[in-house]
Amino acid sequence: MNIVKENFGITPEGKQASLYTLQNSNGMTAKITDYGANLVSLLVPDEEGRFEDVVLGYGQLEGYFVNPAWLGSTVGRNSNRIKDAEVIIDGITFQLEKNDGENNLHGSSDGYNKKLWDASIFDGEEPSLKLSYRSPDGEQGFPGNLKVEITFTLTNSNELKITYSGVSDKDTVFNMTNHSYFNLSGHKSGDVCAHELWLASEAFTPVVNSASIPTGEIASVYETPMDFTKRKPIGRDIEADYEQLVFGDGYDHNWVLNNNGKVEKVAMLWDPASGRTMEVFTDCPGIQVYTGNFLNEKEFVKEGAIYGKRHAVCLETQYFPDAMHHENFQSPIIKAGEKAVSTTIYKFGTEAR
């Protein structure tokens, strides 16, 4: 049996939540809950076959009721920020929740990561879990009844493949991502500043100030601390006296990908302590790198861990932040009846230390 279902607790609405354990032929294991489609844990081997849980998360369902850092969360309808918490679609202005100062962050504080999803199990050689949710017209302030499906597949190539699809009866925003925090040494191993990161990107989208709303510019990374065109330790430049890093107290920016809408390798993370690697493949136009600059989680976390500043890194594949307000950014708005599909793959391996 490659998928095991177990009770995970009772939701605030009094419904039963479940935890699904997927395991591939190599022993790699993913645990996903239908409450919020949250990725709870991911056990990955090192070069000597020792397994560690490489994503931050909670050991109890109650942790996901609040989850201020969005640990492991499925984020939608829109990931990242929208200026002034409003979007204009078909000439109509839709007011969203102001949950990040005057702006909107990740759709809503009561977003998809706090809804109970319907689950379907596909238990085969490569186990898959499909989670479905019907988002009603007006939820989070967005127009349209939106049917969302997410399929998590654990391949025998040690990939966690995530496919998002959505179709709405009105024009709406559809910009989904997974907000997992990765630490390839193990979720309770401290900061990731020694992890080395490579990005297939020569440009990023600068932000105006600490509110992290893009200026609309697409800026070159060359000769700046934002340059990951050659693999380097995350911590090498993170404390540099560089305005963009000062705004976010570290990396919390969107990099521009050159994949032309095709699923291609866009990032690689390497941990010199364990030798573990993680490659990221996606067809999304951007990737948000967040180095847990404000991470401070102590309650309900797994194995009694304490998660602090820069204890993990997020690699969130998505449309650019505030894309609907910049004509030079690819739009995340889909047409009524048009099925939108995107894929992101996290592939794990090892490299000699």
- As annotated, the active-site residues are 179, 316
**Cα–Cα distance between 162 and 151 in angstroms, integer?**
6
**Cα–Cα distance between 34 and 140 in angstroms, integer?**
20
Please check whether residue 302 is in contact with residue 187, taking contact to mean a CB–CB distance below 8 angstroms.
Answer: yes
Please check whether residue 324 is in contact with residue 173, taking contact to mean a CB–CB distance below 8 angstroms.
Answer: yes
Binding residues: 80-81, 179-181, 252
Please check whether residue 313 is in contact with residue 234, taking contact to mean a CB–CB distance below 8 angstroms.
Answer: yes
Please check whether residue 133 is in contact with residue 113, taking contact to mean a CB–CB distance below 8 angstroms.
Answer: no
**Cα–Cα distance between 30 and 16 in angstroms, integer?**
20
Please check whether residue 343 is in contact with residue 263, taking contact to mean a CB–CB distance below 8 angstroms.
Answer: yes
Pick from 230, 294, 296, 304: which is nearest to 268 by CA?
230
Bridge partners of residue 196, in order along the sequence: 233, 270
**Cα–Cα distance between 303 and 95 in angstroms, integer?**
40
Determine the 3-state secondary structure of 3 from DSSP: strand
Please check whether residue 282 is in contact with residue 317, taking contact to mean a CB–CB distance below 8 angstroms.
Answer: yes
Question: What letter represents residue 305's amino acid?
Answer: A
Please check whether residue 222 is in contact with residue 199, taking contact to mean a CB–CB distance below 8 angstroms.
Answer: no
Binding residues for beta-D-galactose: 80-81, 179-181, 252
How far is residue 209 CA from its own chain's centroid?
A: 23
